[in-house]
Amino acid sequence: MTNPAILATQSNDSSFGHILDELKWRGLVALSTDEQELRAALDGQITYYCGFDPTAPSLHLGNLVQLLTMRRLQLAGHKPLALIGGSTGLIGDPKPNSERTLIDKSTVADWVNKLGLQASRFLSFEGENKARLVNNLDWTDPMSAIDFLRDIGKHFRVGKMLSKDAVSARLNSDAGISFTEFSYQILQGLDFLELYRRYDCVLQTGGSDQWGNLTSGTDLIHRVEGKSAHILATPLITNSDGKKFGKSEGNAVWLDTEFTSSYAFYQFWLNVEDADVVDRLKVFTFLNRAQIEELAQATADAPHQRAAQKRLALEVTTLVHGAEAAEGAIAAAAALFGNGDLESLDPVALKAALSELPNVTVGDDHLLVQALVDTGLVDSLSAARRAITEGGIYLNNVKVEDESATIGSWIPGGFAVLRRGKKTLAGLFRA
């Protein structure tokens, strides 16, 4: 089911004369095949695809870059195919330094369904250029090993396969590379060929780090069909400090709330650095150029107000989790920091928010000073007593004045919020 927030984006930025120009302005073009030919192809209506392998039970922010790029192309009138790799997910593309652990078939099948539902939220399945979901297991499963080698493998040259970055990196590592992962690029090339034949698909999008796998498809189409096809690769997104974007506390930011809560998701975007926020607005929102330039100016004039970050967090959380979840995350953040009513919050949203904080499970008679130590808000019981005496400790936004107090005040649902000063928070769960 398509996300209503995605359906609300009915057109691309009208200030650009061509979708390729908008993609460039948004920083979404790192590499492509012949740009002039690609531009001419995009002048008409084409079918394009992007693939997502089920190597985890959820998509992540790197996948979101591709999904939103697909949506921009769909808004420009083109037909998207979202490929979920039921077969390539059984193999896995080569990692730089080690062999992947193969996932059992039933798990991959389950993840295919989950990723298909997630991807479907970012494309429209209505209208003349409606999207399609496809699974590459549909054409690889019936194919025998002999047919695969005779009909597909014969078109690939080992020397060229060895030169691909992912393969050469593994060949030069201690782990080496198995024939299984070495063959991944052949399977991805087969995908493009099959989609070309079945749907007249002439463009594949993906990340620039996948360039070697992307070109395997255009090479195969050229060899087998004698035709040209196109690739558009987005850049690897990095922060201003050079670190890879898309992780929080070293962990991937997932699109499924089971792995990254809507509160944590919202906070991730809210904490984007000033130096990066305009680029993130370009890539991850459908705000137009004028709106983004206005937010850029606001950041330059009054960075402490964080207007751009607040808009970014609202827009992306709404796109991924919906308006209600975004509003809940905003309300939870305000209430946690003493600017709202904790008891009026949705218990699910509050639990998610508290789960992202240092937290412990305690009983009613647990001493508050001990809870301060247990959660790491202070280093010792004496420091806890001193903080209370100085008036800096709050339980559910009420100042604590008794050093011998216990945790006797709970928000409906069995939660409590400890706060030291204005910004240091911890969560308590009722045993």
Cβ-contact 356, 263 below 8 angstroms: yes
Confirm if 392 and 377 have CB atoms less than 8 A apart. Answer: no
Q: Give how far Cα 192 sits from Cα of 116, 202, 204, 225, Å.
A: 18, 8, 8, 12
Arithmetic mean of pLDDT, 280-298: 97
**Beta-strand pair 230-234/31-32:** antiparallel
Residues 6+ apart with CB under 8 A from 3: 121, 122, 319, 320, 322
**pLDDT tens for residues 18-27?**
999 999 999 9
Residue 133 pLDDT: 98
pTM to 2 decimal places: 0.90
Assign domain 238-346 to its CATH superfamily: Tyrosyl-Transfer RNA Synthetase (1.10.240.10)
Element (H, E) at 290: helix 289-301
pLDDT tens-digit map of 84-106: 999 999 998 888 778 888 999 99
Scanning the structure block, which residue is given the tokens 């030919």? 37
Give the pLDDT score at 185.
93
C-alpha R_g of the chain:
25
Instruction: Report the sign of the C-alpha dihedral through residues 174, 178, 184, 186, in that order.
Output: positive
Structure confidence at residue 1 (pLDDT): 66
Average pLDDT for 203-231: 95
The two domains 238-346 and 357-431 share their CATH topology (first three levels equal): no
Q: How far apart are CA 58 and CA 71, in angstroms?
A: 19
Count CA within 13 A, CB hemisphere, residue 312. Answer: 27
Mean pLDDT throughout 271-290?
A: 96
Tell me: pLDDT of 16 over 90: no
What are the pLDDT digits (tens) for 301-350? 999 999 999 999 999 999 999 999 999 999 998 898 888 888 888 888 88
Residue 151 half-sphere exposure, CB side, CA atoms within 13 Å? 12
The residues, ordered by sequence, that sit 6+ positions from 225 with a Cβ below 8 Å of its Cβ are 193, 196, 197
Residue 14 clears pLDDT 70, i.e. is over it = yes
CATH class, domain 4-236, is: alpha beta
Mean pLDDT of the chain: 93
With tokens 């922060």, the residue in question is 239
CATH for 357-431? 3.10.290.10
- Rounded average pLDDT over 374-382: 96
Query: What is the share, in percent, of the chain residues with pLDDT greater than 90?
Result: 77
Listed by start position, the domains of the chain span 4-236, 238-346, 357-431
pLDDT digits (tens, 9 = 90+) for 41-60: 999 999 999 999 999 999 99
Please list the alpha-helical segments (H only) found in 35-173.
Answer: 35-43, 61-75, 88-91, 105-120, 137-140, 145-147, 158-163, 165-171
Per-residue pLDDT, 157: 92
* Residue, of 243 and 2, whose pLDDT is higher: 243
Ranges 5-14, 50-59, 163-172, most confident: 50-59
pLDDT in tens, 105-144: 999 999 999 999 999 999 999 999 999 999 999 999 999 9
Neighbours of 404 (CB within 10 A): 9
Label the pairing between strands 201-207 and 132-135.
unpaired
Q: Are 75 and 127 in contact (CB under 8 A)?
A: no
